[in-house]
Homo-oligomer: A and B are copies of this chain.
């Protein structure tokens, strides 16, 4: 919970109260939906795995032919200034880089950088205990390796997800599954191998951490994952910055395994929580 009433945000060079944070309507995000972003978790006022998120933010900008005008050091300074001012110990922080205030509403201008801190709702014990239902949809993101602001499809499907009493939607194309609008997918095969798609996806930071943790305990395979693999799986789960690891117990009409969260999912979640603690302690020592 914020300890004061004012939430501050960084907008094009200025730190100002969130309620007065705006962009001129010539900005290419408004005119053309053009921008990239990244989002990391702040725990006990420490930004977790920040190096990875800054590197990905920069790579997304590059893939969209934009250049992030700030150094990592400058970004860190803004981030720590916001953390100090806002004092929201558990929160999410979002960085957005748009195409800027375009003269002709099409050509790129000097980019607009925004950084804002937001309340964070982690999945509760009931959700983690029961697991979630997901649906599937045929789609692949346009430039999967870039974290663009384009959620045209994800938001358009919100109504369908709700109407089917599901919690999220998994994209697939020609039988191969890729990712959720905001999460990566993992499958535990009947032979115990932990599998995750490696193409058509955003390279999630939580995905990377979970892969590293899984390799210590289980056989692991990054590669093609099909809808059939999912329907036959022992366990299925998703990973994301805000959700960590969330068990999936139903995919469309198919119940996965026994219909309850499995032991591999639960073990990896505990290991991930430990890894987050280690990252916080390491940062304190720096």
Contacts and interface: CB of A to CB of B under 8 A. Distances in A.
B96 A31 contact: yes
Contact of A96 (B11, B18, B30, B65): B30
B65 A34 contact: no
Contacts of A139: 142
Contacts of A142: 139, 142, 152-153
Would you call the interface of chain A mostly helix, strand, loop, or mixed?
A: mixed
A271 B90 CA distance: 64
Interface stretch (A103-111, A192-200, A212-220): A103-111
Number of copies: 2
A99 B96 CA distance: 17
Nearest to A39: B105
Interface in A72-99: 94, 96, 98-99
Interface string A133-146: 00000010011000
A106 B155 contact: yes
B156 A64 contact: yes
Interface residues of A, number: 45
A132 interface: no
A156 to B, nearest CB: 6
A21 to B, nearest CB: 5
A130 interface: no
Contact of A35 (B19, B33, B158): B33
Nearest to A151: B32
Given A108-B155, A142-B142, A156-B65, A150 B33 contact: yes
Contact of A21 (B25, B96, B154, B158): B25
A152 B30 contact: no
Interface in A229-250: none
Contact of A158 (B30, B105, B107, B116): B107
Q: Lowest 8 A-B CB distances belong to which pairs?
A: A33-B33, A22-B22, A32-B151, A33-B149, A33-B150, A29-B30, A21-B25, A22-B24
B23 A149 contact: no
Contact of A151 (B24, B25, B106, B116): B106
Contacts of A29: 29-30, 33
A225 interface: no
B118 A151 contact: no
A27 interface: yes
